[in-house]
Amino acid sequence: MSDMIDFNSDTAKALERVYLTPDVVGQRARVLAELSLKHGDAVLDVGVGPGLLAYDMALTVGDTGKVAGIDVADAMLAMTGERCKDLPQCDFRKGDACALPFDEGAFDALVSTQVYEYVPDMDKAAAEIARVLKPGGRAVILDTAWDSLVLNARDRGLSRRVLEVWDEHLVHPNLPAKLSPVLERAGLQVLRIEMIPMFSPHYQTHSYAAGMLRMITNFVSGRSGVSENEAKAWYDDLMAGADRGDFFFCLNRYMFLAVKK
Interface with ligand SAM (CB under 6 A):
7, 15, 19, 47, 49-50, 52-53, 70-73, 76, 96-97, 113-115, 118-119
How far CA 37 is from CA of 5, 210, 253, in Å, comes to 31, 32, 22
> Between residues 19 and 247, which has the closer beta carbon with respect to ligand SAM?
19
Shortest Å, Cβ 70 to ligand SAM:
6
Shortest Å, Cβ 97 to ligand SAM:
4
> Between residues 179 and 242, which has the closer beta carbon with respect to ligand SAM?
179
Shortest Å, Cβ 241 to ligand SAM:
26
> Between residues 49 and 65, which has the closer beta carbon with respect to ligand SAM?
49
> Between residues 198 and 242, which has the closer beta carbon with respect to ligand SAM?
198
**Separation CA 98–CA 196 (nearest Å):** 26
Shortest Å, Cβ 98 to ligand SAM:
6
> Between residues 113 and 200, which has the closer beta carbon with respect to ligand SAM?
113
Q: Which residue is nearest to ligand SAM (CB)?
A: 49
Shortest Å, Cβ 55 to ligand SAM:
10
Query: In what helix (H) or strand (E) does residue 3 lie, and over which residues does it extend?
Result: none
Pair type for strands 188-200 and 249-260:
antiparallel
> Between residues 23 and 71, which has the closer beta carbon with respect to ligand SAM?
71
Task: List % helix, strand, coil for the chain (3-state, nearest 5).
Answer: 45, 30, 30
**Separation CA 14–CA 218 (nearest Å):** 11
DSSP letter for each residue of 158-187: HHHHHHHHHGGGSS-TBTHHHHHHHHHHTT
Shortest Å, Cβ 107 to ligand SAM:
16
**Separation CA 87–CA 81 (nearest Å):** 10
Query: In what helix (H) or strand (E) does residue 47 lie, and over which residues does it extend?
Result: none
**Separation CA 200–CA 249 (nearest Å):** 5
Instruction: For residue 184, count CB atoms less than 10 angstroms from its CB and return exposed for 0-12, middle for 13-18, buried for 19 or more.
Output: middle
Number of helical (H) and strand (E) elements in the chain, helices listed first: 9, 7
> Between residues 7 and 254, which has the closer beta carbon with respect to ligand SAM?
7
Shortest Å, Cβ 33 to ligand SAM:
16
